[in-house]
A and B are shown apart, each in its own frame.
Chain A
Amino acid sequence: MSIRLRLDKPWRPLTAEEIARLPGQLGVYQIADASGAILCIGQAGARAPFGLRSELQRELAERGASHQFRVEVNQQYRTRWFELLMVHKADHGSLPPDNAKNPPPLGRLSPN
Chain B
Amino acid sequence: MDFEPNEEQQMLIEQVRRFVREEIIPLEAGLDPDASELDPADHARLVEKTKAMGLFGIDIPKEYGGPDIDIVTRVLLAIEMAQHRAGLYVPCYGTFGGAGLAQIFEANDDQKERYLYPTLRGEKKAFFGLTEPSGGSDPARAIQTRAERKDNGWVLNGAKIFISNADRAQYGIVFARTDSSKGRAGITCFIIDSDTPGFHVRRVVHTLRSSHYATELEFKDCWVSDHQVLGEVNKGFAVANDRLTRQRIPYAAGCIGVAIAAHEMAIEWAKMRSTFGEKLSHRQAVQWMLVDNEIDIRTARHFTLEAAEKARRGLPFKIEASIAKLTASEGGGRVVDRAMQIHGGMGMTKDLPLERWYREMRIRRVGEGPSEVQRMVIAREILGSNLR
Contacts and interface: CB of A to CB of B under 8 A. Distances in A.
A binds B: yes
Interface of A: 3, 5, 45-47, 75-80, 82-83, 86, 105-112
Contacts of A106: 167-168
A79 B167 CA distance: 13
B250 to A, nearest CB: 24
B206 interface: yes
A109 B210 CA distance: 18
Contact of B204 (A45, A77, A82, A105): A82
A46 B33 contact: yes
B204 A108 contact: no
8 residue pairs, one from A and one from B, having the closest CB atoms: A107-B167, A46-B350, A76-B210, A79-B213, A107-B168, A83-B204, A45-B32, A110-B200
Given A46-B350, A105-B37, A77 B210 contact: yes
Given A105-B37, A107-B168, A108-B167, A79 B204 contact: yes
Contact of A111 (B165, B202, B210, B211): B202
15 contacts: A76-B206, A77-B34, A77-B210, A78-B34, A78-B35, A79-B204, A82-B204, A107-B165, A107-B166, A108-B167, A108-B194, A109-B202, A109-B203, A111-B202, A111-B203
Given A78-B34, A82-B204, A107-B165, 8 more contacts: A45-B33, A78-B35, A79-B204, A83-B203, A83-B213, A107-B167, A109-B203, A110-B201
Contacts of B202: 109-112
Contacts of A75: 210
A78 B211 contact: yes
Contacts of A107: 165-168, 201, 215
A45 B201 contact: no
Contacts of A47: 32-33
Interface in B326-374: 350
